[in-house]
Amino acid sequence: MILILGGTAEARELAAALVAAGIEVTSSLAGRVANPRLPEGAVRIGGFGGPVGLAEWLRENDVSCVVDATHPFAERITENAATACTRAGLPLLALSRPGWSERPGDRWFWADDLAAAADAIPGLGSRVLLTTGRQGLAAFAGLGHTWLLIRCVDPPEPPLPAQHKLLLDRGPYTLEGELKLIDAHGIDLIVTKDSGGEHTIAKLDAARERGLPVLIVRRPARPSVAGVATVAEALDWARAHAG
Ligand code: NAP
């Protein structure tokens, strides 16, 4: 059986491809989202209890290999997967979509993490579309004079910035929809993680069209494990390691 550490569109696509290929697969979700989009095939939800718990789970469930298809900013589970697979002597592949690349007309600024992004915001804009996700919003709580439209899937926990509006949405987003949102709220800055992929790229296209700056949080460093960028490559690898 193949374990996919999921929570991304790519993880769902890979699960569907493995099911279609007749390969036994279990997808694992953290359980952060109240109503997650469920992948095809078996699904388990919730943490494993650190790398030790994950290594145990791999042994008990007779897993032959693991694909870490988690979000590029999910640092802990990726570290845990590397440690647990080494411990269990199992092959591990990282499936990670490439980050976004600047195109002509873009006005991008980079921050090393959420705290650095919060520091940079006052110099770049005063009405912000914040799309960094529900977790880590405390980093922006001190922004007293900035208005933020916080878009995330589920309601975030406090502390939150004094001046904000919540927009609960999970996409998919379109260029037309993003332009409407920008215009309706007088947005003058977009803040995002470098998540990559097509699912949330419309905001970058919309920013270019309106000449708005985008502040992008760089990806964290990941452990050095074998990696691929596409579901097709991960499928080939999984077929070869299915046992
Ligand atoms: P994280 O900080 O790397 O992980 C924290 C803990 O959550 C892990 O130690 C693990 O608990 C549990 N966990 C995380 N992903 C898991 C999974 N796929 N299956 C089972 N347990 C998991 O993770 P995160 O940044 O909170 O992300 C959580 C999930 O949301 C991930 O699956 C990720 O793909 C998805 N996601 C994250 C982001 C983001 O920006 N971080 C964006 C979109 C989607 P134990 O130690 O108890 O095993």
Ligand 1 close to Cβ of residue 48 (< 6 A): yes
Q: Alpha helix (H) ranges present in 147-230?
A: 175-185, 202-210
Looking at ligand 1, which residue's alpha carbon is closest to its atom 15? 30
| CATH class for the region spanning 107-217 | alpha beta
Ligand 1 close to Cβ of residue 28 (< 6 A): yes
Could you tell me the distance, in angstroms and rounded to a whole number, from the CA of residue 76 to the centre of ligand 1?
7
The secondary element (H helix, E strand) that includes residue 214 is strand 213-217
Q: Do domains 2-98+221-241 and 107-217 have the same CATH topology?
A: yes
CATH topology of domain 2-98+221-241: Rossmann fold (3.40.50)
The per-residue pLDDT string of the chain (243 residues; one tens digit each, 9 = 90 and over) reads 999 999 999 999 999 999 999 999 999 999 988 899 999 999 999 999 999 999 999 999 999 999 999 999 999 999 999 999 999 999 999 999 999 999 999 999 999 999 999 999 999 999 999 999 999 999 999 999 999 999 999 999 999 999 999 999 998 899 999 999 999 999 999 999 999 999 999 999 999 999 999 999 999 999 999 999 999 999 999 999 987
3-state helix, strand, coil in the chain (%, to 5): 35, 20, 45
Domain ranges of the chain: 2-98+221-241, 107-217
8 A C-beta contact, residue 104 and residue 237: no
User: pTM (2 decimals)?
Assistant: 0.94
The secondary element (H helix, E strand) that includes residue 75 is helix 75-88
Ligand 1 atom at minimal distance to the Cα of residue 5: 18
Ligand 1 close to Cβ of residue 70 (< 6 A): yes
Ligand 1 close to Cβ of residue 161 (< 6 A): no
Which token pair is 115?
């705290």
Could you tell me the distance, in angstroms and rounded to a whole number, from the CA of residue 107 to the centre of ligand 1?
31
- Choosing from 77, 193, 194 the residue with most ligand 1 atoms within 8 A of its CB, the one to mutate for a pocket test is 77
8 A C-beta contact, residue 194 and residue 219: yes
Could you tell me the distance, in angstroms and rounded to a whole number, from the CA of residue 78 to the centre of ligand 1?
8
Residues 197 and 44: their CA atoms lie apart, in Å, by: 25
Ligand 1 close to Cβ of residue 71 (< 6 A): yes
Ligand 1 atom at minimal distance to the Cα of residue 78: 3
Residues 130 and 114: their CA atoms lie apart, in Å, by: 11
Residues 200 and 235: their CA atoms lie apart, in Å, by: 24
End-to-end C-alpha distance for the chain, whole angstroms: 8
